[in-house]
């Protein structure tokens, strides 16, 4: 028994020494690992630096990073309201005379208001803001932003997503509070683009220029024709991003071709814009989206559709008002090639709609479908803001009559 006890105690002592040696080795290995690895704070700083320097990667829709400009320059990066420093506004780069404007700031006797949050930027003489955005090559996108004029002269904005660009006129204001939202679309030619909003104008007052706020992006999905509708996007459900905190819809500028239209499938064939409406803020006859024809025959949308000469077709659609105080006699004219129909609608300004149908026989392999408003209307609550009939749920189908015995 004594020998067995001695051997057992010796084995326990050897096991204890081995465990101490293992713990010592592990401790040394951990020390070496810590010495050979950068501190956690360094890793986090490197990660933050990488994220801030890389291109923005927005979701399918929504504001760009700091798209509402609520993150502003540091106090020493401002000279009054003028921004000093190319990178002073987080996530943006600026050129030219750019001002950082706070809600309630005065310009002479005019009070400057901001549609979302408390801050916006003003683009003065030859000024621009830009941001790098990661996109998907070959995909269509729309850009939405809000803008307000602060000077009397005509203003135009050059909007681009490298290498494509467009010019958006701002001479007509459509909302009563001075702010309008605009949409523009492009086809991504690379996986990263530089989104730029540029005021190309030059004024005697270098600070005279538009206010910009709420810059957002949305991926567009090309609509397809179906067995029940030969028109693309006849219900207007696919369109630009509508800023949720705004109540005035989104303007789709004139002379927008089908290939790069923020309203897929449709062209704006007119001198004035059409307005894209949402059911959250307006009366919409069908679904969640519709179009308002704002400026008489100067505000028209069109689509070219394939037809068979000699075949009979029916073009159906809904006409109404947006529940936006657009009262009185409204009149929509619809065209299908050489055929036309006029649809009157008496509006009380509180919403509602009616349906109409234009039947025609196609005379060509392609038929142009066009809608415009025959009258110029203004809202009854301010007598200055342009308004008009709402168009929705547009469908074109082939009509086959049964043979008589």
- What order of strands is seen across the sheet that includes strand 300-306? 267-268, 300-306, 366-373, 327-336, 339-348
Shared-domain flag, residues 237 and 140: no
Is the pLDDT reported for residue 335 higher than 80?
Answer: yes
**Whether residue 367 sits in one domain with residue 241:** yes
pLDDT computed for residue 16 by the predictor: 47
Do 369 and 301 belong together in one domain? yes
| Same domain assignment for residues 83 and 215 | yes
Residue at which a domain ends, from 220, 255, 271: 220
5/356: higher pLDDT: 356
Q: Are residues 229 and 316 in the same domain?
A: yes
- Asked whether the predicted pLDDT for residue 185 surpasses 60, the reply is yes
The residue-averaged pLDDT of 327-341 equals 97
The structural domain count of the chain equals 2
On the question of pLDDT at 105 being above 60, the answer is yes
- Percent of the chain exceeding pLDDT 70 equals 82
- Are 169 and 286 part of one and the same domain? no
Residue 236 lies in a domain: yes
- pLDDT level of residue 321 (50, 70, 90 thresholds): very high
Q: Does the pTM exceed 0.85?
A: no
Determine, yes or no, domain membership for 37: no
Q: What is the pLDDT of residues 211-235, one digit of tens each?
A: 999 999 999 998 988 889 999 999 9
pLDDT category at 41 given cuts 50, 70, 90 is very low
149 shares its domain with 282: no
pLDDT of residue 55: 63
pLDDT value at 152 more than 50: yes
Read off the CATH number of the domain in which 200 is found.
Answer: 2.60.120.260
Q: What mean pLDDT do residues 346-354 have?
A: 96
Which 3 state secondary structure label does DSSP give 46? helix
In a domain, 123, yes or no: yes
pLDDT tens, 155-184? Answer: 789 999 988 999 888 866 677 778 999 999
Higher local confidence (pLDDT), 336 or 259: 336
End-to-end CA distance of the chain: 119
Q: In angstroms, rounded to a whole number, what is the distance separating the alpha carbons of residues 290 and 70?
A: 31
Do residues 267 and 252 make contact, with C-beta atoms less than 8 angstroms apart? Answer: no
Most confident range, picked from 223-232, 277-286, 376-385: 277-286
Q: What is the pLDDT of residue 6?
A: 39
Q: How confident is the model at residue 15 (pLDDT cuts 50, 70, 90)?
A: very low
Name every residue whose Cβ is closer than 8 Å to that of residue 314 and which is 6 or more positions away in sequence.
357, 358, 359, 396, 397, 399
Question: Quick one: pLDDT band at residue 260, thresholds 50, 70, 90?
Answer: confident
Question: Looking at residue 206, what is its pLDDT?
Answer: 77
| Same structural domain, 73 and 172 | yes
Share of the chain above pLDDT 90, in %: 63
- Range of weakest confidence among 9-18, 127-136, 354-363: 9-18
107 & 247 share domain = no
Whether 259 has a pLDDT exceeding 80, the answer reads no
Q: Please check whether residues 255 and 150 belong to one and the same domain.
A: no
Query: Is position 42 within any domain?
Result: no
Quote the CA–CA distance of 221 and 192 in Å, as a whole number: 19
Residue 41 lies in a domain: no
Q: Could you say which of 220, 235, 257 is where a domain stops? A: 220
* Four-residue CA torsion sign, 227, 232, 236, 242: positive
Residues 196 and 294 in one domain: no
Q: Give domain status of residue 158, yes or no.
A: yes
Query: Which band of pLDDT confidence, cut at 50, 70 and 90, is reported for residue 207?
Result: confident
Q: What is the pLDDT of residue 89?
A: 98
What is the residue range of 262's domain? 223-404
More confident residue, 247 or 60: 247
């Amino acid at each position: 028994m004594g020998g067995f006890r001695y051997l057992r105690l010796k084995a326990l002592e050897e096991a204890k020494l081995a465990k101490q040696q293992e713990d010592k080795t592990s401790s040394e290995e951990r020390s070496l690992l810590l010495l050979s690895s950068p501190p956690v704070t360094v890793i986090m700083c490197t990660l933050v630096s990488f994220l801030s320097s890389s291109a923005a990667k927005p979701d399918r829709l929504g504001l760009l990073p700091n798209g509402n400009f609520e993150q502003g320059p540091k106090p020493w990066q401002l000279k009054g309201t003028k921004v000093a420093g190319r990178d002073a506004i987080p996530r943006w780069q600026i050129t030219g005379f750019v001002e950082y404007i706070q809600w309630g700031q005065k310009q002479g006797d005019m009070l400057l208001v901001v549609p979302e949050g408390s801050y916006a930027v003003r683009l003065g003489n030859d000024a621009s803001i830009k941001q790098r955005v990661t996109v998907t090559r070959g995909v269509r996108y729309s850009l939405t932003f809000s803008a307000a004029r602060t000077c009397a002269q005509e203003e135009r904005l050059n909007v681009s997503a490298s290498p494509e660009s467009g010019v958006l006129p701002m001479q007509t204001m459509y909302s009563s509070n001075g702010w309008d939202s605009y949409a523009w679309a492009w086809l991504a030619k690379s996986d990263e683009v530089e989104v730029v909003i540029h005021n190309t104008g030059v004024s005697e007052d270098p600070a005279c220029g538009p206010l910009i706020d709420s810059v957002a992006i949305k991926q567009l999905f090309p609509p397809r024709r179906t067995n029940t509708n030969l028109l693309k996007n006849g219900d207007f459900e696919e369109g630009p991003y509508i800023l949720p905190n705004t109540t005035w819809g989104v303007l789709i500028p004139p002379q927008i071709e089908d290939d790069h239209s923020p309203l897929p499938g449709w062209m704006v064939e007119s001198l004035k814009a059409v307005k894209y409406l949402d059911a959250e803020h307006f009366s919409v006859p069908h679904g969640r989206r519709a179009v308002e024809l704002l400026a008489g025959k100067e505000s028209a949308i069109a689509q070219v559709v394939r037809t068979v000469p000699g075949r009979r077709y029916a073009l159906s659609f809904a006409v109404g008002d947006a529940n936006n105080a657009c009262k009185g006699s409204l009149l929509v004219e619809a065209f299908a090639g050489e055929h036309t129909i006029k649809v009157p609608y008496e509006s009380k300004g509180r919403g509602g709609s009616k349906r109409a149908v234009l039947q025609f026989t196609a005379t060509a392999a392609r038929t142009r479908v066009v809608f415009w408003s025959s009258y110029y209307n203004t809202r009854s609550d301010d007598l200055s803001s342009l308004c008009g009939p709402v168009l929705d749920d547009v469908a074109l189908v082939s009509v086959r009559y049964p043979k008589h015995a």
